[in-house]
Structure 1
Amino acid sequence: MPRKILLHAGIWLVFLSLFTVEFYWNIDHFPMVSSWVLILNLFLFYLNYSFLVPRFLLHKKTKTYLLCISIALVLVLFAREIGVHVRPERFRKFPLPLGPEPPLFKILKYLFPLLISLSFIIIGTVVKVYEEWNRSLVEEKEIEAFKTRTELHYLKNQLSPHFLFNTLNSIYSLINNKSEEASEAVIMLSELMRYMLYQADNEFVALSDELVYIQNYVRLQRLRIANNENITLNIHGAVTHQKIRPLLLISFIENSFKYGTDYKGNTEVRIVINVKENELEFICGNLIGTRKRDQHNSGIGLKNSRDRIKLLYADKHNLEVYEEDSKFMVHLKLNLN
């Protein structure tokens, strides 16, 4: 909006400048910048800018547009001729020239007014076309952002039931084993769900809150797993003001616990998170256990995580998922800026 105001202020400044020139020069027999012709040119500018371009040119009715512009130009030249021959008292200081006019004068007499009118038309056309092009770009970005938000909402809704299902399985195992830690697990689950309900819908969350959420989840898993010596979570670096998209890492961690148990019942899940200013490195590795992967269901969490990261950190991430030394590894680097 300020840019548009400046544009129209500039047009009016040009108009007033030409009017001032006409007023002080008081050119009689060659009134190239006659004030009322300039007013007509200004009207021509707004007619073209506000009506002709949007109504015809932008709708690809080029012939109709050119016809209207041609008629308008003829009217401006006709108005100029009226200004030459029908003159108010103050314009009668000099008589109209008698005798034949020089050929060059005849050409210039029509060429200069035509060029002035054309300049008003061209400026109006260029400005309006540029504004429409810019508006289209903004609309495309808004549509793309809406599609992204819709897709992210869908992916998050996919993640939440997946997380809840896995966590309830963990608590069920504790209750089934008559573990005294079942009540503690329920409290942890309530903390996890509170985070998901009241913070995970935000566009960004504090990195410190997200890490506390991950710590609670890992603690919950350690409660249900008997041989948990090889379940580790190490966080290094200063966590201060950084922000991150919520629930970005949890599916990788869930997947590690789901498939990280070998044939002896030993579980190995090792998670390392390094934070250095606005750079985050996430490394998650687990044993490739005996439990056969359900290619469809196990892929949901990983695919959703990949898709979310791609949407949210398009050119600010590097994700590698691979197998190494009988371990399934996830290595993610994020730029949190």
Structure 2
Amino acid sequence: MNRIKKVFTRIHIGLWILFSLLIALQLSQDTAHWLHLTVAVMLTALYVFYSHFLLLTRYLGKNKKRAYFLRLAGIVLTGPALYILLHYRKLDTNDLLSEYYLISLFSIIIPFIFLSWLARITENLVLNTIKKEQLEKQAVEAELYYLKSQINPHFLFNTLNNIHTLVYKQAPAAPEAVMRLSSLMRYMIYESNAPTVPLSREMIYLQDYVGLQQLRYKKSPVVDLEITGDTESCHIAPLLFIHLLENAYKHSPARLEPGAIKVIVEIIENTLTFSIQNPIGKHQNNMLEEPGGIGLPNVKKRLALLYPDQHQLEINNTGEIFTVTLKIHSLHSLVHEREAQLLYN
């Protein structure tokens, strides 16, 4: 907001300099005393403009019409004083005094009262629009933060219990499990605060999550994760896929065969496709309407906020297999837009 006010200040200064030059140029062609007249006109205009500007700042939008009009009358009455006092000609008659008063009143006072009103209204409109956008942005950021924080806490507790068991048994997999959990928590707490992250880092996060979930299964990896394309140059909103993966685990049968959950991540040009498929366990036919479920509704809300009109989300439930396919288009252009917004802010 301060930056916008500084821009308005520069605009004011620039316009006053331009106006003074135009007045000086015009008067220099009409009279030899152009400098006196230019100073008189400029000081009168500045006094009237900013007196009324500050008056509007104080009373605009408030129910104090009487106080406003009384002070406005004072500006109209005192405004011509500077023009008359600084005029180069000697005021030796009342007719000349009234003539100069009327000249300054209609050529300077009234026009600059109107211009100050126009400037105040314009600045208020711009500032209110920016405030509204900032409030909306803060509301969106707060909702996104809330949505990102909705990762199932039971996963953390279950993982800690599994690691405790591994440590108790002095299993070789214990150190690796601790490192995966550390990497996962570091990403969630620190790195995910950025607007976007490299897709490669998001994939490492998913792999750590899969590795920790695998502690529950004695068989070979139950998740088949396939990644194709340049994940380094592609950026994505953090923690966007974790709910889909968590949902797949949650609604799959208790016993999973190797590769039962299939995850495909594909980048073609500037389009990202994320597809996840899992078998449906018993009593899971109504998973989308499950009370307290946050997986798919969470993803839908975040996509609507982050990628409006830039994504497609397809859900297919055959009764035995549940498939979710997410496509996000124009990823590179979206990254550039976010960078531009960060520079602007």
TM-score tier, shorter chain, comes to 0.7 to 0.9
- The match for 1:54 is 57
> How far 1:315 moved relative to its partner?
3.8
State yes or no: 1:73 paired with 2:76. yes
Q: What is the deviation of 1:253? A: 0.3
TM-score of the aligned structures, taking structure 2 as reference length: 0.74
Structure 1 distance, partners of 2:192, 2:86, is: 72
* Counterpart contact for 1:173–1:224, Cα < 8 Å: no
Q: Which has the larger radius of gyration?
A: 1
Residue by residue over 1:194-249, the C-alpha shift from the partner in whole angstroms, topping out at 9 and shown as x without a partner, is 33344223333221111122123234444533455763111121222222222111
Matches of 1:160 and 1:236, distance apart in 2: 28
Q: CA deviation at 1:19?
A: 4.4
RMSD between superposed Cα atoms in Å: 4.0
1:133 & 1:243 partners in 2: Cα distance? 36
More moved, 146-155 vs 235-244: 146-155
- 1:105-148 CA-partner distances (Å, limit 9, x unpaired): x9x99478414322212222111211122111222222222233
CA 1:147–1:290: 2 relative to 1, 3 Å? same
- What is the CA–CA distance in structure 2 between the aligned matches of 1:81 and 1:180, rounded to whole Å? 95
User: For 1:235, what is the secondary structure of its paired residue?
Assistant: strand
1:139 aligns with 2:143: no
Percent identity, aligned pairs only, is: 30
Q: Which runs of 5+ in 1 are unaligned?
A: 99-105
Distance 1:169 1:308 in 2: 31
- Equivalent residue for 1:87? 89
User: Quick one: which amino acid aligns to residue 25 of structure 1?
Assistant: D
Q: Give the AA of the match of 1:54.
A: T
AA at the equivalent of 1:87: R
* Unaligned residue ranges in structure 2 (runs of 5+): 1-5, 335-345
| Maintained 8 Å contact 2:44/2:80 | no
Match in the other structure for 2:320: 326
Q: Which residue of 2 aligns with 1:10?
A: 15
Corresponding residue of 1:153: 145
Residue 114, structure 1, aligned to residue 144, structure 2: no
Q: What is the distance in 2 between the residues matched to 1:34 and 1:203?
A: 54
Q: Which runs of 4+ in 1 moved over 6 A?
A: 78-84, 95-98, 172-180
Do the aligned residues in 2 keep the contact of 1:171 with 1:185 (CA within 8 Å)? yes
Instruction: Give, in whole Å, the separation in 2 of the partners of 1:251 and 1:55.
Output: 51
Classify the secondary structure of the residue corresponding to 2:249.
helix
After superposition, residues 1-337 of structure 1 pair within 5 angstroms as 1-19=6-24, 21-22=26-27, 25-26=30-31, 35-49=39-53, 51-59=54-62, 61-62=64-65, 64-76=67-79, 87-88=89-90, 110=102, 113-159=105-151, 161-165=153-157, 167-168=159-160, 181=173, 184-222=176-214, 224-226=216-218, 231-261=223-253, 266=257, 268-292=260-284, 295-297=290-292, 299-324=293-318, 326-335=320-329, 336=331, 337=334
> Displacement of 1:289 after TM fit?
1.0
Larger mean CA deviation between 68-77 and 234-243 belongs to 68-77
1:71-130 Cα shifts (integer Å, max 9, x gaps): 43344457767788x933xx99xx9999xxxxxxx9x99478414322212222111211
The 2-side partners of 1:172 and 1:125 are apart by 71
Identify if the C-alpha distance between structure 1 residues 288 and 149 changes in structure 2 by more than 3 Å, giving closer, same or farther: same
Q: 1:102 corresponds to which residue? A: none
Moved more, 277-286 or 168-177: 168-177
SS of match in other structure, 2:265: strand
AA paired with 2:15? G
Query: CA, structure 1 residues 230+325, in 2 after alignment: closer, same or farther (shift >3 Å)?
Result: farther
**In structure 1, C-alpha distance between the alignment counterparts of 2:85 and 2:176, rounded to whole Å:** 95
Report how many aligned residue pairs link the two structures. 318
Residues 197 and 237 of structure 2 are in contact (CA less than 8 Å); yes or no, is this contact kept in structure 1? Answer: yes
